[in-house]
Structure 1
Amino acid sequence: MDAQQVFALLCIGFVLAAFDKKKEHFPLPLLLLAAGILCSFVPFFSNIEVTRDLIFDWFLPALLFVAAYQFPYRDLKKDAGLISTLATIGLLLTFILLGISLYILLSPFLEVSLVACLLIAAMLTPTDPVSVVTILKQTGPQEAADIVEGESLLNDGTSIVLFTLMSTMYFESQQFSINSFLIDFLLVTFSGAAIGLIIAFLANKWMHLIKDNEYHIFLSLLLAYISFYIAESLQVSGILATVAAGLFLSRHFHVNGDKEVKERLDGFWGIIELLMICLVFLLIGIAGGQQPYISYLYYILAGFLLMIAARYIVLALIMYLIPFWRHRFHFQDYLILGWGGMKGTISLALLLGLNAGGKNSEVIFTLTFGIVFLSIFIQSLTMYPITRKLKAQEQKKKESS
């Protein structure tokens, strides 16, 4: 990807962002994704190669850092139990349920193994923080949006361990080991988070020695990427390291309340976030724009429905089996938590990291791309009408009572 192509994509992103006056009806990521699909048919963009390294190394550290940094510390503390449960146990249950369901659905018609279906499920289980932050936060309700956002920030470690395990089993025909999985999971997640917290702690101490606000901003940018690269070099979760660093910075401003520095950081990271979102969703559209979706259309639709069903079933098990959460949240919160679990950049970054020479790679690529695209299009388009109707019904109940 050369400089002219980058500039052209930024121009497209700017035009869409500037003229999108009804963001609640047509969220920006949705428009960018559609524009990216159209760009995939334009010869000027034909040589753009969207790889896992491009998404992971350049875009995700900044996007996840700003999402974590902007996430209110008090909300994370208040809902820590439910968020952590959904991001670990909930994700594992969804992975198992979705993988088995996909195998039952697809195996009679396509040459796919149970491991292949579990590999697809591993890529479809993580909720996407980029999509959630830019779509769900605009529509509410606020508490449900905060829970989905917090879950999406923390579930990446689980999903990456699942993906690594299932891709190894799929391509190298290795046997599943529960002990190996648990050790890898604990090592990747807790070590990654610990590295992020340590680096953020040191950066915070350094901030106190620097009086110039511009250097605070520079240091925050370094923090987002250094925490990611150091963790990845140690073969643990760079994503969780970046998220932990962002959450540490959020807590720092919550406790210390340095408004001037925070305002400057908010302005800087707001621009970075917009630039990154424009590029990443356009590139995702280009990467998946010419997959043979028509040949697998019915399987994509069925897989999308299974993904939604698995999400709601696991939510019901978690939220309604524990009395505290059952009494605290209403049915509309349950609906929003389920429908807000959109897929996006994390799922597609994992997909792009697959070995393209693998068996049945076309089936896995096309099904996963198609289901993620449907998730972004359908769930983002319907989120605002659903939340608006639920709010109207809630308002009628209050007036009648």
Structure 2
Amino acid sequence: MSVTQGVLLLLIGYIVFTIDKKKKNVPVPVLLLIIGIGLSFIPYFSSIEVTERMIYDLFLPGILFVSAYKYSTKAIQRHAPVLGTLSTVGLVAMALLLGLFIYGIAGWFESITLLGAMLIASILTPTDPVSAVSVLEEAADEQIAEVVDGESMINDGTSIVLFTVLAGIYTGERSFDLFSFLGEFLYVSIGGVVVGVLFGWVCSKAVHITHHRDYQVMLSIIIAYGSFHAAEHIGVSGVLGTVAAGIMLSYEFDHTNKEDHFREALSGFWNVVEPSLLALIFLLIGIAITPYLASAYWGLAILILIASIAIRFLIVSLVLKVFRRWRRLETTKQAFLVSWAGIRGTMSVFLILSLHARSPEEAGALLSISFSVVFLSLVIQSVGVYPLSKWLE
């Protein structure tokens, strides 16, 4: 992507954010996605090559850091058991059940192996709260938004480990071993968190070296991208590293730093960066997704989307009923809203592009099916969050 193309995409994003007055009814990411699909038919923009490294190295660290930095540390304490269960055991259970469902019905549309079905399921397990959380905060109980947002930050790291193992088996690069998988999962996950906590703690102390706001903002950029790439460099989760660093920085500011201008400076900067990154990423997703939509199996994609929401509802319901804090509440409605708000987005697109880079020809059907489900999820679930939350209210 050239500088000129990037500036033009930012301009389009600016126009969309500026003129959009009804974000509740039609979330901005959906509009950007549709515009991106339209841009893919213009040769100047269709020439943009959207790669998995572009999304992973450039966009994800910034988006994850903003979410983690803004996320309340008190919310983590309140919902830690729910978030931890949904993002680990719940995610694996979701992938297993959805994979079996896809394998069972895929024969009506396309010949897919059990491993291929499990791979599609692993791509569709991570959630993206960008389109849903702001709406949930206004239209629903705040704790629902906290669970959706917190789960999405953590399960991104889990989903990458699961996808990496399954993709390696699919391409013949590795064989499956349960103990090896568990060991790798623990090493990558715990290692990423440790790196992020250390990075966030050190940098939160270093911010006091200077009282110049511009330099403090510069340090926050180092935290966001430095923690990510430092973790990736030593073979642990950069996603969890950035999330842990952002949460650690927020925690340190809440408990040891009483000067509000630190948060004001950081928020002022990242409140500009966040919509800029979101504008670019959703326009680029629209451009990248278009070639696969023409050959999509829409009937199969619709069935997979319905099944994914139903399976997620089952898992969320069970998890919420296990923990006492949620047992006294009306869990059925809350579970359905949490399930519906589990939209597939940026991380799923990254995993799809990663599979394309590994096996561009053999995985053609898997790519087309996965992209079509992501598209339907982004449009249908994003648009439905607000009316559904008001109806359940």
1:370 aligns with 2:372: yes
Are residues 322 and 138 of structure 1, via their aligned partners in 2, closer, same or farther at CA, if it must alter by over 3 Å?
A: closer
Could you tell me whether the CA contact under 8 Å between 2:199 and 2:227 is conserved in 1? yes
Matching residue of 1:396 = none
Deviation, structure 1 residue 313: 1.3
Provide the C-alpha distance between the structure 2 equivalents of 1:220 and 1:147, rounded to a whole number of angstroms.
25
Deviation, structure 1 residue 83: 1.0
SS at 2:337 equivalent = helix
* Letter paired with 1:337: V
Provide the C-alpha distance between the structure 2 equivalents of 1:292 and 1:328, rounded to a whole number of angstroms.
41
Deviation, structure 1 residue 75: 1.2
SS at 2:126 equivalent = coil
1:300 aligns with 2:305: no
Provide the C-alpha distance between the structure 2 equivalents of 1:229 and 1:135, rounded to a whole number of angstroms.
32
Provide the C-alpha distance between the structure 2 equivalents of 1:95 and 1:294, rounded to a whole number of angstroms.
24
Provide the C-alpha distance between the structure 2 equivalents of 1:225 and 1:265, rounded to a whole number of angstroms.
15
1:23 aligns with 2:23: yes
1:214 aligns with 2:218: no
Moved more, 101-110 or 145-154: 101-110
1:240 aligns with 2:240: yes
Matching residue of 1:284 = 285
1:267 aligns with 2:268: yes
Could you tell me whether the CA contact under 8 Å between 1:167 and 1:354 is conserved in 2? yes
Provide the C-alpha distance between the structure 2 equivalents of 1:377 and 1:108, rounded to a whole number of angstroms.
25
What whole-Å deviation, never above 9, does each CA across 1:217-274 have from its counterpart, x for those lacking one?
A: 1100111000011111111110110000000111122223321111111111000001
Are residues 113 and 359 of structure 1, via their aligned partners in 2, closer, same or farther at CA, if it must alter by over 3 Å?
A: farther
Could you tell me whether the CA contact under 8 Å between 2:27 and 2:131 is conserved in 1? no
1:339 aligns with 2:334: no
Deviation, structure 1 residue 386: 1.1
Under a length normalisation based on structure 2, what TM-score does the superposition of the two structures give? 0.96
Matching residue of 2:175 = 175
Provide the C-alpha distance between the structure 2 equivalents of 1:153 and 1:292, rounded to a whole number of angstroms.
28
Which of 377, 380, 383 is matched with 2:382 structurally? 380
Are residues 314 and 181 of structure 1, via their aligned partners in 2, closer, same or farther at CA, if it must alter by over 3 Å?
A: same
Could you tell me whether the CA contact under 8 Å between 1:196 and 1:243 is conserved in 2? yes
Matching residue of 1:9 = 9
Provide the C-alpha distance between the structure 2 equivalents of 1:313 and 1:2, rounded to a whole number of angstroms.
45
Unaligned runs of 5+ in 1: 392-401
- For residues 99-110 of structure 1, the aligned pairs below 5 Å read 99-110=99-110
Matching residue of 1:395 = none
Provide the C-alpha distance between the structure 2 equivalents of 1:373 and 1:210, rounded to a whole number of angstroms.
45
Unaligned runs of 5+ in 2: none
Matching residue of 2:352 = 351
* Letter paired with 2:339: G
Provide the C-alpha distance between the structure 1 equivalents of 2:249 and 2:214, rounded to a whole number of angstroms.
16
* Letter paired with 2:43: P
Matched positions, count: 391
Moved more, 331-340 or 64-73: 331-340
Provide the C-alpha distance between the structure 2 equivalents of 1:218 and 1:164, rounded to a whole number of angstroms.
33
Deviation, structure 1 residue 134: 5.0
What whole-Å deviation, never above 9, does each CA across 1:336-381 have from its counterpart, x for those lacking one?
A: 1111111100111111111443554221111111111111100111
Provide the C-alpha distance between the structure 2 equivalents of 1:16 and 1:217, rounded to a whole number of angstroms.
27
* Letter paired with 2:96: I
* Letter paired with 2:312: R
Deviation, structure 1 residue 321: 4.2
Matching residue of 2:124 = 124
Could you tell me whether the CA contact under 8 Å between 2:63 and 2:277 is conserved in 1? yes
Could you tell me whether the CA contact under 8 Å between 1:311 and 1:338 is conserved in 2? yes
SS at 1:79 equivalent = helix
Under a length normalisation based on structure 1, what TM-score does the superposition of the two structures give? 0.94
* Letter paired with 1:349: F
Provide the C-alpha distance between the structure 1 equivalents of 2:59 and 2:134, rounded to a whole number of angstroms.
15
Are residues 132 and 235 of structure 1, via their aligned partners in 2, closer, same or farther at CA, if it must alter by over 3 Å?
A: farther
1:320 aligns with 2:335: no
- For residues 64-75 of structure 1, the aligned pairs below 5 Å read 64-75=64-75
Provide the C-alpha distance between the structure 1 equivalents of 2:189 and 2:134, rounded to a whole number of angstroms.
25
Deviation, structure 1 residue 170: 0.5
Provide the C-alpha distance between the structure 1 equivalents of 2:11 and 2:260, rounded to a whole number of angstroms.
33
Could you tell me whether the CA contact under 8 Å between 1:64 and 1:129 is conserved in 2? no
- For residues 19-168 of structure 1, the aligned pairs below 5 Å read 19-133=19-133, 135-168=135-168
* Letter paired with 2:333: Q
Deviation, structure 1 residue 320: 2.6
Deviation, structure 1 residue 332: 2.3
Provide the C-alpha distance between the structure 2 equivalents of 1:85 and 1:135, rounded to a whole number of angstroms.
24
Deviation, structure 1 residue 325: 2.8
Deviation, structure 1 residue 140: 3.1
Are residues 91 and 184 of structure 1, via their aligned partners in 2, closer, same or farther at CA, if it must alter by over 3 Å?
A: same
Provide the C-alpha distance between the structure 1 equivalents of 2:220 and 2:27, rounded to a whole number of angstroms.
28
* Letter paired with 1:87: S
SS at 1:375 equivalent = helix
Deviation, structure 1 residue 310: 1.2
Provide the C-alpha distance between the structure 2 equivalents of 1:39 and 1:138, rounded to a whole number of angstroms.
32
Provide the C-alpha distance between the structure 1 equivalents of 2:48 and 2:241, rounded to a whole number of angstroms.
29
Could you tell me whether the CA contact under 8 Å between 2:132 and 2:385 is conserved in 1? no
